[in-house]
Amino acid sequence: MKKAVILLYTYNEKENLEKFVGEVLNQEKHSDGWNFEILIADSSSPDGTFEIAKRLAKNNPKIHAITVGKGLGVAVIEGHQYSIKHLKPDALVQLDADGQAKADVVPRLLKTIDEGYNLALGSRFVKGGKNDLTLLRRIFTWGSCTFSRLIMGPLDIQEFTNSARAFTPELFNKINLKRLPWREQSYIIQPAFLNEAVLAGAKYKEVPLYFKNREEGYSKNKVFNYTYDVITYSIDARLRKWGFNGNFFRMSRRAKTFIKFGIVGVTGTIVDFAFYKIFINGFDFNPATAKGFSAEIAVVNNFIWNNFWTFKYRKTKTNLGQKFLIFNLVSVGGIVIGVLIVKLLDMTFGSGYVYILGRHIAYNNFYFFATIPPVMIWNFVANHLITWKNKED
Ligand SMILES: Nc1nc2c(ncn2[C@@H]2O[C@H](COP(=O)(O)OP(=O)(O)OP(=O)(O)O)[C@@H](O)[C@H]2O)c(=O)[nH]1
Ligand SMILES: [Mg+2]
């Protein structure tokens, strides 16, 4: 008899865990030649998931429960490492613990290992597989997988993001953990692990997987962050395949706050311009008054987005009102810098026109756009260091 250790990672899954463990164990009778053991790797869930895991382990010698560090990547890697060291499996299987992946994928995964493959992938996109999510989530999954497939490769895999997989300990031990970003707090671990497994020489095959909406608990995945990571990781993997080892993914993770800040800046400019026009055309304001009001509306817009999105993770000493006040002062500083730059450029180059594609374009357009990078850098640095300064720093 061979032994399969099925790793279930949990973070706040108290409503799902016990039921799903039962469903997985129930599949043992459909897996000829395999004994199942279950390893629950919990990242100190505040909802008491680990208490349930410990009780299950106490009542059944086939079930083990351990506490691992925070983050899905850490749970995946530390879980399999524990399994190899203490449980001596012939195959490592992994599944989300929320029951979204139907447990009947396990016998198919193990059968693939029996066929001589060292990596079996549960796939929603092969014949017999199904992605039973809301339309929006389906589009999102399809987009992430297609992007990974086309940019990172290989082209003959269709499922990159789902975690339902089985592989041999030998393959796991060959994976370059130094390169794999498993300590990042990100779900990128699943596509990244697949990429590294392929680079380590995996012989892989996809098997049908039925995937459905979660019934209980909540999703810990955040759409923007995940999309951002899938895009930057795929580009990173592609660059490496072409010989550039620039660590693009890690750099992009660090640049993320700045990029979010830039996106907020763009929405702010749109809001500013829209209200400027509304006040002039709809309320007969003169342009200067209109600009005063529209600029402040943009400041409020940017503050809200930056506070609840860009810098959401920062714990500050100041309260919301104080942050808003500082943000306004920083913005005034940005306006002063912008005015000075336009003034300087105007004094140096004066008012003229250039002729581009059959149109006369006034110099002052360029003056306006020239202010954007320095003002954005000012705003970012000042808000990063002052408005949303971390308590601990
Ligand atoms: N140990 C551990 N498990 C985690 C962590 N984050 C997520 N998980 C587990 O990883 C699995 C996938 O997370 P989900 O929140 O279900 O992500 P998702 O499937 O993309 O989102 P939904 O469709 O809403 O379920 C679940 O079993 C989670 O409990 C973590 O930090 N540590
Ligand atoms: Mg899930």
Residue type, 294: S
Q: Are 196 and 179 in contact (CB under 8 A)?
A: yes
pLDDT per residue as tens digits for the range 163-215: 999 999 999 999 999 999 999 999 999 999 999 999 999 999 999 999 998 88
Ligand 1 site residues (CB inside 6 A) read 9-11, 13, 41-43, 68, 70-72, 75, 96-98, 100, 214, 219-221
Indicate which residue's Cα is closest to atom 16 of ligand 1. Answer: 219
Indicate which residue's Cα is closest to atom 24 of ligand 1. Answer: 219
Write down the pLDDT at residue 208: 98
> Which ligand number lies closest to the CA of residue 97?
1
Strand spans (E) along the chain:
2-10, 34-42, 63-67, 91-96, 119-123, 130-132, 165-167, 204-208, 210-212, 353-356, 359-362
> Which ligand number lies closest to the CA of residue 162?
1
Q: Which of 9, 136, 144, 209 to mutate to test the pocket of ligand 1 (most atoms within 8 A of CB)?
A: 9
Q: How far apart are CA 162 and CA 95, in angstroms?
A: 9
The SS3 of residue 19 is helix
Task: Indicate which atom in ligand 1 lies nearest the CA of residue 226.
Answer: 20
User: DSSP character for 101?
Assistant: B
Residue type, 149: R
Q: How far apart are CA 389 and CA 317, in angstroms?
A: 8
Q: Is the pLDDT of residue 383 over 90?
A: yes
pLDDT per residue as tens digits for the range 84-118: 999 999 999 999 999 999 999 999 999 999 999 99
Average pLDDT over the chain reads 94
Label the pairing between strands 119-123 and 165-167.
Answer: antiparallel
Write down the pLDDT at residue 313: 87
Q: Is the pLDDT of residue 222 over 90?
A: no
Q: Are 388 and 306 in contact (CB under 8 A)?
A: yes
User: Residue 90 burial by CB count (10 A; 0-12/13-18/19+): exposed, middle or buried?
Assistant: middle
Which residues touch 72 (CB under 8 Å, ≥6 apart)?
9, 11, 186, 187, 189, 220
Cα–ligand 1 centroid distance for 220 (angstroms): 6
Cα–ligand 1 centroid distance for 12 (angstroms): 9
Residue given tokens 């002063």 in the structure block: 336
Is the link from the previous residue into 154 a cis peptide, with omega within 30 of 0? yes
pTM: 0.84
CA of 163: how far to CAs of 189, 209, 258, in Å? Answer: 9, 11, 30
Where does the pLDDT of residue 390 fall: very low under 50, low under 70, confident under 90, or very high at 90 and above?
confident
Cα–ligand 2 centroid distance for 214 (angstroms): 6
Cα–ligand 1 centroid distance for 8 (angstroms): 10
Q: Which of 8, 11, 80, 214 to mutate to test the pocket of ligand 1 (most atoms within 8 A of CB)?
A: 11
CATH of 2-246, one of 3.40.50.1820, 3.90.550.10, 3.30.830.10, 3.40.50.80: 3.90.550.10
